[in-house]
Amino acid sequence: MKKVEDVLNDLARIKWFTRCGEPIPNQKHRLKSWADAEQYFAGDKGLRWENWKLAISNRRRELIRDARVKSTEGLCDSEKQTRYEQFQNDARKRQAVIDEFRADYLSKIVASVFDHPELQRMVALDISWTVNELVNPTPPLNFFEALILPVYVSGHLPCGWSGTKIARKWSGNLLSDLPSGQLIIF
């Protein structure tokens, strides 16, 4: 597990959105302009993309909860309560650092590149989910680290999924359990 501060320092070094619109090797599905990206996010495709990521994020949360419950099996109630309180305190500390990052840095990333509220909101969610995944990994389901973060690191913007729709209550455990398809990238 990476320290929150290390993750945020890594994110601060990314050259955000510097290659949007440029060709991407082996990428069949890409958008070519900010106008295309804005139009994409403003419609049903943007909502489907957000729901797709939300289903994965929810599944990660379930896996984390299940692991936490499993780690307390066999403990007496007071030990379980102590472990739960420790988990909650650690989570609050991580979230405080993430919230500070969002307030200080994330808004600058998003606002400096484009002026479209829906795009800004979705990028902010992507980055928040990625940070949460990096500081609280649930291998082997590290979707944001494995698929979304590399797109941002390369200077592009992940915009959607071309392929099979993900179920609302998706219950996969591996990246290979994701529906077939490919990211749509700007």
DSSP structure string for 84-106? HHHHHHHHHHHHHHHHHHIIIII
What residues contact 93, with CB distance under 8 A and at least 6 apart? none
Q: Looking up tokens 């994701």, which residue turns up? A: 178
**Counting every residue, how long is the chain?**
186
**Averaged pLDDT, 96-104:** 78
DSSP-H helix ranges across the chain = 4-12, 34-42, 44-71, 77-101, 107-113, 117-135, 143, 149-153
pLDDT at 28: 75
- Reference 36, options 46, 27, 28, 26; nearest CA is 46
User: What is the Cα Rg of the chain in Å?
Assistant: 18
**Distance from C-alpha of 18 to C-alpha of 48, rounded to nearest angstrom:** 26
| 150, 19 contact by CB (below 8 A) | no
Full-model pTM: 0.81
- Structure-model confidence comparison of residues 72 and 105, the more confident one: 72
Does position 61 have pLDDT exceeding 80, yes or no? yes
Does position 178 have pLDDT exceeding 70, yes or no? yes
For residue 46, the number of C-alpha atoms closer than 13 Å in the C-beta half-sphere is 19
